[in-house]
Amino acid sequence: MKTEYKIVSLAVLKKKIVVSRKAGKKIVFTNGCFDLMHLGHVSYLEKIKSKDNILVVGLNSDRSVRRIKSAGRPIQPQKARARVLAALACVDYVTIFSDPTPYQVIQAVQPDILVKGADWKNKTVVGEDIVKARGGRVQLVRYIPGFSTTNIINKIRTQCAL
């Protein structure tokens, strides 16, 4: 499958999910900016993918990233970030959303499993009410220490300032 076919609108995604559920697949959802793809991202996504599920990644649009991150973000435009995500074998679908949170996407997708990084421990995960109400679960995945987009950007800035 060409990677661009994995990037779908929410309307198309909902239809694909119906087909996947009929085939006995569980829907796993995660989201993020994925501004500069790195080992931490790849490891995280690979950990949550299995042959028995469909991995849907909600990608913050450029506008959404600008609202929630620091100045100058995103580094990569949403189309580029979506294509890189879609190129990963572990990702089944990417859908782009413009709201500050993926709540409306989660409401539409109704995932069986909602996944966030372990840094969300003891915090309310956006959409967990939707997932738990239908008998699903929230899963927190540990990050690989030292890998974050912010750390990479800061390292580049520091090295360029020398």
pLDDT number for residue 29 = 98
DSSP codes, 63-128: HHHHHHS-TT--SS-HHHHHHHHHHSTT--EEEEE-SSSSHHHHHHH--SEEEEEGGGTTSPPTTH
Burial of 16 (0-12, 13-18, 19+ CB in 10 A): middle
Distance in angstroms (rounded) separating the CA atoms of residues 146 and 162: 21
pLDDT of residue 149: 67
Q: What is the per-residue pLDDT for 153? A: 67
Alpha-carbon distance 69 to 52, whole Å?
Answer: 34
Q: The dihedral of CA 153, 145, 30, 122: what is its sign?
A: negative
Query: How many structural domains is the chain composed of?
Result: 1
pLDDT of residue 39: 85
Could you state, in chain order, the average pLDDT of each consecutive group of 10 residues for the chain (162 residues)? 89 97 97 88 92 96 89 90 96 96 97 87 88 96 75 72 64
Structural domain for 22, as ranges? 3-161
Q: CATH code at 13?
A: 3.40.50.620
How far, in whole angstroms, is CA 120 from its chain's centroid? Answer: 14
